[in-house]
Amino acid sequence: MTIRIGANPIGWSNDDLQDVGGATPLETCLAEAKDAGFTGMELGHKFPREPAALKAALAPYGMACVGGWHSVELLRRDAREEFTLAAGHRALLKAMGTDVFIVAETSNAIHGDRSCPLSRRPVMEAADWGPFCARMTDLAMMLADEGLRLCYHHHMGTIVESRADIAAFMEGCGPAVNLLLDTGHATWGGSDPAELARSYRARISHVHAKDVRADIMDEAKAGDWSFLDAILGRGEALGVYTVPGDGMVDYAAVFRELAGYSGWVIVEAEQDPVKANPLAYARMGVANLRRFMAEAGMG
């Protein structure tokens, strides 16, 4: 598999606040994604979760199913229980021909609570990383036995947010655990996404490409905003995230560090679709990604 550019539907319809873009039909999202040049889509809350229905929804637009977010609670449950609870998601991904199994620990996450500032996000004690990572590794190995790759999504408002968190997680987990490199969450969380790409290149198996508006990020940090307030923007202002090339991330540097990468690069830039026209931004994101990849010598 060479590099393919896909999208997450969150630019059209938000998953955490489902009234944001709630009136936008799935068909509009898929048609505009095709128009913009995407060839695959991650799952969102409007997508069917039965294989035949999902294939029927995607087929008219020539879209592959890339995979989708799956919340885990390994701070509370063991790997076997989590694996069993994911039976439906596992079956769907396999039926759709994708091995991208995206997970994030959400048992104590605060990113979905608009009233909760990011300063109150959960932070792990040093002694807790070992047991947590052991469970994550066990889950990854169970998934690997079924041909699925666990791709861990570091995320604002969760226990894996900062550079130190990512280091503790990657050092504590075995090689079956892959990293989903998210350029936007990395940047906002205080990491350099190019450095992350260089440090974990061998274990990066999925990429989310979103850019960061530096002025909004600084304002959100100074004002201790919630995650949702920051991504949606206050008042008439745009939010902290945007598509590649419209913010502060040096994508050419990131892609140079990902030399040899084979897989999906997903534009996943959640914004308020009323303020940021999804089709216009999708076209911008695809065009910029292609340009950055060419600059980095990637096919």
Does the pLDDT at position 299 exceed 80? no
Does the pLDDT at position 146 exceed 80? yes
* Residue 245 confidence class, pLDDT cut points 50, 70, 90: very high
- The arithmetic mean of pLDDT across residues 110-139, rounded, is 98
Residue 174: predicted pLDDT: 98
Strand 241-242 relative to strand 211-212: parallel, antiparallel, unpaired? antiparallel
pLDDT digits (tens, 9 = 90+) for 151-163: 999 999 999 999 9
Averaged confidence pLDDT in the chain: 97
The single residue listed with the structure tokens 């592959």 is: 64
Name all contacts of 193-199 with Cβ < 8 Å and 24+ positions apart: 193/249, 193/254, 194/250, 194/253, 194/254, 194/256, 194/257, 195/257, 196/163, 196/166, 197/254, 197/257, 197/258, 198/257
Task: Give the rounded percent of residues in the chain with a pLDDT score beyond 70.
Answer: 99
> At 177, which amino acid appears?
V
Does the pLDDT at position 148 exceed 90? yes
pTM of the model: 0.97
Nearest to 13 by CA among 1, 25, 4: 25
CATH classification (class only), 4-295: alpha beta
Residue 298: predicted pLDDT: 85
